[in-house]
Each structure stands twice: as structure tokens, then as C-alpha cells.
């Protein structure tokens, strides 16, 4: 009887120099968003980068200019928005960042007038790097929770009452 070798466990906390560099670049995107320094996007995001985000109001977001257009929409809707990085994990060419975003809706968002309400949401972004730049990105975040906090979608609690 042959036995299978034990499954390989990967320690995602240990990285190599490239993983550490990619994590730092992924963090710079959030730092640039917080400081409103959109020039950083040109340095870190590849011209042919594709952003996959099912919550994205635009049909397609490509390259640094597409990402900047998306970011500017959120700047207009949440002038005080901030991101906090909760943790990052790097493996090969990929960096996963779990984050918390917060802000007050003091401007129009996708045709919705400002509510004046604050929201706090959590999300995860996965970036794939090639030659030191983000070539592909996936995001998933609590859009419904944000809309409920802003009062534009009823929450399960308010619907039950």
C-alpha cells in the first residue's frame, strides 16, 4: 500500500524580495488614494491593466487612466474617504489586500444625490503583477452594506420592522 505525501502547506507570511516589493506597491495604491496623489497610479498600474470589479459602474476599466476615472468618481462622492489596510498576503505574482474603507457621502454617486451619511465597508483586492506593475486586479467589497448605511437601500433589520 502506498501512501500519499502530506499536502504542501504554504506559509503566506514568508515572502521573497519580489513578493515584498509587490506588497509595497499594492499598499502604495491605497496610500495614493488616501493622499489624493493620482500620479502614483501611472507608476504602478500597467497601461494594459484590466480591473475586474462587479460593483464597477463603468463597463470596463483599463490602465491607469481608467482607474483614475473610477477613483475620481469616489473622490467626488466621499471627499473624506480613507482606506486602512488590514492585512496583505503575497504569493508569486499575486498580492491580496484586505481593507476597510470609510467616508461621508457628501457628493453625487452614480446619479444618487449626497446623503450626508457615513459608511464603513470592508473589501478584498487581488492584484497580479508583471514587471513591477499591476497588470490585472480583482475586487470584491460590501457595496450593499455601503448603500444600506447611506440609507438608499433598506437593511434587513429595517425591512423586518
Per-residue pLDDT tens over the stretch 27-49: 999 999 999 999 999 999 999 99
C-alpha cell, 73: 468618481
Please name the residues in contact with 50: beta carbons below 8 A apart, sequence gap of 6 or more. 60, 61, 62, 135, 136, 137
Q: Look at residue 28 and tell me if it is in a domain.
A: yes
Q: Decide if 70 contacts 63 (C-beta within 8 A).
A: no
**How much is the pLDDT for 99?**
97
Residue holding cell 457628493?
107
Q: Look at residue 160 and tell me if it is in a domain.
A: no
Question: What percent of the chain is predicted at pLDDT more than 70?
Answer: 86
Going 9 to 15 to 21 to 24, the CA torsion angle's sign is: positive
Going 74 to 153 to 146 to 116, the CA torsion angle's sign is: positive
CA atoms within 13 A of residue 5's CA, in its CB half-sphere: 3
Dihedral angle, C-alpha 44, 48, 49, 55, nearest 10 °: 130
Counted domains in the chain: 1
Please name the residues in contact with 13: beta carbons below 8 A apart, sequence gap of 6 or more. 89
Q: Look at residue 10 and tell me if it is in a domain.
A: no
Kindly provide the b/e burial profile for residues 34-58, where b requires at least 16 CB atoms within 10 angstroms of the residue's own CB: eeeebebbeebbbeebbbebeeeee
Across 16-22, average pLDDT: 87
Q: Is residue 11 scored above 50 in pLDDT?
A: no
Write down how long the chain is.
Answer: 161
Instruction: Determine whether 88 is exposed, middle or buried from the number of CB atoms within 10 Å of its CB (0-12, 13-18, 19+).
Output: buried
CATH number at residue 110: 3.10.450.50
Q: Look at residue 106 and tell me if it is in a domain.
A: yes
User: 28 lies in which domain range?
Assistant: 17-153
Q: Look at residue 133 and tell me if it is in a domain.
A: yes
Q: Look at residue 44 and tell me if it is in a domain.
A: yes
**How much is the pLDDT for 127?**
97
Across 78-84, average pLDDT: 97
Q: Look at residue 159 and tell me if it is in a domain.
A: no
Going 51 to 113 to 102 to 28, the CA torsion angle's sign is: positive
Mean of per-residue pLDDT scores for the chain: 88
Amino acid at each position: 500500500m502506498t501512501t500519499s505525501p502530506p499536502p504542501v502547506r504554504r506559509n503566506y507570511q514568508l515572502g521573497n524580495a519580489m513578493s515584498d516589493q509587490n506588497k509595497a506597491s499594492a499598499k502604495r495604491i491605497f496610500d495614493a488614494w488616501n493622499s489624493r496623489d493620482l500620479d502614483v497610479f501611472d507608476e504602478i498600474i500597467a497601461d494594459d491593466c484590466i480591473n475586474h470589479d462587479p460593483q464597477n459602474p463603468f463597463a470596463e476599466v483599463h490602465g491607469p487612466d481608467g482607474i483614475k476615472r473610477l477613483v475620481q468618481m469616489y473622490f467626488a462622492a466621499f471627499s473624506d474617504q480613507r482606506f486602512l489596510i488590514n492585512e496583505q498576503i503575497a504569493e508569486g505574482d499575486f498580492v491580496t489586500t484586505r481593507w476597510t474603507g470609510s467616508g461621508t457621502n457628501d457628493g453625487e454617486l452614480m446619479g444618487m444625490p449626497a446623503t450626508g451619511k457615513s459608511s464603513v465597508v470592508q473589501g478584498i483586492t487581488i492584484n497580479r503583477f508583471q514587471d513591477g506593475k499591476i497588470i490585472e486586479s480583482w475586487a470584491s467589497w460590501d457595496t450593499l452594506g455601503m448603500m444600506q448605511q447611506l440609507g438608499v437601500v433598506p437593511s434587513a433589520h429595517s425591512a423586518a420592522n
